[in-house]
Structure 1
């Protein structure tokens, strides 16, 4: 890596720059608790320099043939595939992901870039009949202009690519703010792009920093579209700030994903999928299973097998690729432990795990045990408030109808899971769940699908045709040739 993230972390108009800011943000290794670099936070003037560069570059970028834009995004996909190991090294260090999950994120990012690049020759409008003699109406897809992307810490590479690729393929230019917790992998990838991909100056700009940088991007007059992945409160603040200029907004926010285990479910399949969902990335995934509704006929069997499986999860140094590494920060660890303690105060029983780790993998690190909570009621806070850690409350239900009722009793509406061998129940439950996506007898999405939250889980969506086309707006052109 030729760029020094501690000295020249700003990428503006095709060049690396030092920041004028004295405000420095330490990047901490979650395994050692040591700051291995501190990154300056961009100033308001530097944010505006980046948005102005994106604005200046956008008209020419839009005029460039879409196929050429797609070719450059395919080069980014190649670059990701060629640098999986080095990028994963950095990602493990700054975020605490296990080695295999970090490598998967880089590989998935390449897949995202390649999939989205193929929309270069699939950006379709419509031709509709006119209302006058010899009239034709063309509905064209046009870019918004300058897109500001605000990236979360839990998937800093894949979400960066998830926003960047469709935005620039459709003719927009971009300014990206990586998370202050995990900016280094993004800067490392930007350095590779700078050296290997001939993106025109101004098409992609990077401004690291904290909340003030994000707020500055949202309120900047040059920004036409804001896409953000993060928590609900930040998303609401972005909508309020964007309202002054009617800036378009897309938000992927929190989740409280339910898993419904019916009486006829394959218990082994349910346990395997729910454990993996709840412990991947130390439970720091907005689509993770966060609450489990189990039919009374199989509740005892499920709890026994699920508790045993959660206890068997291997915790260790993420570089050694165990099942689960540490949480990303002391703050996130404290929030998870507080959620467990509060659930116990409200009457829940800790069947596995609990606050703290009896035999931590090291003297340092933000370690947490996979935790199973039983004797949980629907009105407990742990059922309604997002817990960004490997905590799984189990609630007994008398029927799938009650499970659906309880699942929909939430302000969130991102992901949901159903385990049943009944085709009829699977279809009914999936239709009745008020969530943007539902997984039946499995988990994991696909690039050609659509990842979208309902209710307070967001607006806009990502992936697939609709994730690509959201970066375009429709222009009507009336042709009269009488």
Structure 2
């Protein structure tokens, strides 16, 4: 693997804002080995109650730094600052829910009683988890996989989008500050599908969580297909809106436009096509044009 420099271009100014370097082959192997070694101790030395406390502390730190993180996120991915902080707040709220249900979700499931036997299903950590996450809602997307993985006792390796590289760095620092042992969360930067596929196919990786494009997801799935490893893919959609003939046309026009262009349209569930009742078609088109003028 050759060394590759990644430059993040701000969509607001169209100027470079930072650079990162893709790790070499030996550096990747060091990350994988450190994650495996950390897993061997973390799952035994930190029971669920301690993992819950660490997550709780990390979320408090995240909230305390919300404004600074939001400003940096706006610079990197271009969303107006009025909305960026809300993503971090929502990511915290979602994480708090995952934290709330973690005790019940990770508890043993009792089996059918039988004389001389105690039957149950136990949820065990699997090992190093590779989390590949998109740039459009990076904090919100990341916590969907990161928080359950840590609460379950896994170690994680983060691969952020080249557009928002600092999110993984900040999250790693925040969890270290909250008391998470070193190497439980690690990260690497890359813009090369070859490097990413090499990591996804590594035997040290025991679970892959991917959020991003269809093409990227297929590539990761293909890389992991030579062995038995769970791969979760959350990919972009082609979402329609259906406008019935009995609606408040002005209200619906505003709602549909918001669903199509919010976050510059960079949402996996953004409205990409609209089906409209024939009798209100022209009225709806005119209403949409008025919304777009505003």
Q: Does residue 1:201 correspond to 2:182, yes or no?
A: yes
Q: TM-score, normalised by structure 2?
A: 0.93
Cα distance in 2 for partners of 1:86, 1:189 equals 13
**Aligned-residue offset at 1:184:** 2.3
List runs of 5+ in structure 1 lacking aligned partners.
1-19, 313-482
Cα distance in 2 for partners of 1:242, 1:271 equals 43
Contact 1:156–1:186 (8 Å) recurs in 2: no
Q: Does residue 1:129 correspond to 2:120, yes or no?
A: no
Cα distance in 1 for partners of 2:15, 2:74 equals 14
Cα distance in 1 for partners of 2:95, 2:69 equals 16
Cα distance in 2 for partners of 1:26, 1:250 equals 28
**Aligned-residue offset at 1:258:** 0.7
Cα distance in 2 for partners of 1:204, 1:159 equals 16
Aligned to 2:23: 42
**Aligned-residue offset at 1:237:** 1.6
**Aligned-residue offset at 1:189:** 3.8
Cα distance in 1 for partners of 2:70, 2:258 equals 20
**Aligned-residue offset at 1:149:** 0.3
**Aligned-residue offset at 1:21:** 6.5
Aligned to 1:357: none
Q: Answer 1 or 2: which has greater helix percent.
A: 2
For the residue of structure 2 that corresponds to 1:250, the secondary structure is strand
Q: For structure 1, which segment, 137-146 or 172-181, has the greater mean C-alpha deviation from structure 2 after superposition? A: 137-146
Cα distance in 2 for partners of 1:217, 1:311 equals 47
Distance 1:265 1:72, change over 3 A: same
Q: Map 1:23-422 onto structure 2 (within 5 A).
A: 23-63=4-44, 64-122=46-104, 123-130=106-113, 133-194=115-176, 196-210=177-191, 211-312=193-294
Q: Deviations over 1:245-295 (max 9, x none)?
A: 111100000101111111122323322221111111100111111111111
**Aligned-residue offset at 1:44:** 2.4
Q: Answer 1 or 2: which has greater strand percent.
A: 1
RMSD over aligned CA atoms reads: 1.8
For the residue of structure 2 that corresponds to 1:252, the secondary structure is strand
For the residue of structure 1 that corresponds to 2:23, the secondary structure is coil
Distance 1:112 1:50, change over 3 A: farther
Q: Deviations over 1:22-81 (max 9, x none)?
A: 421111111211112211112222222112111111133223221111111111211111
Cα distance in 1 for partners of 2:43, 2:101 equals 15
Max radius of gyration: which structure?
A: 1
Contact 1:87–1:189 (8 Å) recurs in 2: no
Q: For structure 1, which segment, 49-58 or 166-175, has the greater mean C-alpha deviation from structure 2 after superposition? A: 49-58
How many residue pairs align between the two structures?
291
**Aligned-residue offset at 1:308:** 1.0
Cα distance in 1 for partners of 2:126, 2:292 equals 46
Cα distance in 2 for partners of 1:268, 1:59 equals 59
Contact 1:218–1:238 (8 Å) recurs in 2: yes
Cα distance in 2 for partners of 1:243, 1:21 equals 24
Q: Deviations over 1:207-250 (max 9, x none)?
A: 11122332122011100000000111211121121111111100
**Aligned-residue offset at 1:304:** 1.1
**Aligned-residue offset at 1:91:** 0.4
Q: For structure 1, which segment, 224-233 or 41-50, has the greater mean C-alpha deviation from structure 2 after superposition? A: 41-50
Cα distance in 1 for partners of 2:178, 2:186 equals 14
